[in-house]
Amino acid sequence: MGISRTAVVDAALDVLDEQGLDKVTMRAVADRLGVQHNTVRWHAENKQRLLVLMSDAIFTGLDVTTLPSQWEDRFRALAHWSRRALLAHRDGARLVSGIATTEINTYRLGDTMIQTLLDAGFPPRTAAWANWTVFYLILGITQEQQAQSADAPDPVLAFDDDTFPALRKASAYVIAGTFDERFEFALDMQMTALRVELARTGAQ
């Protein structure tokens, strides 16, 4: 029985989860499946193509029927769904960052996020660029979270002179809060900016 493309991508994601992005190779996927190297190449002609397919597979399973109808709640829910999808795989955000994925799951997510803003009354440029802004936020904070070693000591920052006065004044908050709390704060800021923009343009 032949190996399907789905099986190849699933095996690649297993390697990712168990060993990390740097260990994902065509050979490692072939070994995991117990097949010849060329079998993997039949479905993904090179490593870059394999990474694209893996990146797209991370965003499998978006069910738009379960999303809230109100645009702010809907957009926020999509942002949370995207972050959870990345966190579900080791190095998920690092994998997706910098990959130009023109595959169905990635397109569906982007289309749904942009359509949510279009339906709210935002013009196409604002809808498209706001989608990118929030997605960059998700990628950045999630990649930082996934790069942090679980057993790494908590960083200690002591700004006890006037060289960096702003850091000294805010030092208690520079490293405070969980990644989830920081993400919520940043997302709230973005949603506030979108509400202001919607009111400014007179959209209904």
User: Over the stretch 92-105, which tens digit does the pLDDT of each residue have?
Assistant: 999 999 888 889 99
- Give pLDDT tens digits for 50-104: 999 999 999 999 999 999 999 999 999 999 999 999 999 999 999 999 888 889 9
Query: Which pLDDT does position 204 carry in this prediction?
Result: 45
Q: Is the pLDDT of residue 190 over 70?
A: yes
Across the chain, what does the average pLDDT equal?
A: 91
Question: What global pTM score does this model have?
Answer: 0.90
The phi and psi torsions of 19 (rounded to 5 degrees) equal -125, -15
Q: Do 87 and 146 touch, CB atoms closer than 8 A?
A: yes
Angle between the N-to-C axes of helices 104-120 and 47-58, in degrees from 0 to 180, rounded to the nearest 10: 40
Compute the distance between CA of residue 170 and CA of residue 160 in angstroms, rounded to an integer: 12
Q: Are 89 and 60 in contact (CB under 8 A)?
A: no
Average pLDDT value for residue range 165-188: 90
Percentage, residues of the chain above pLDDT 70? 92
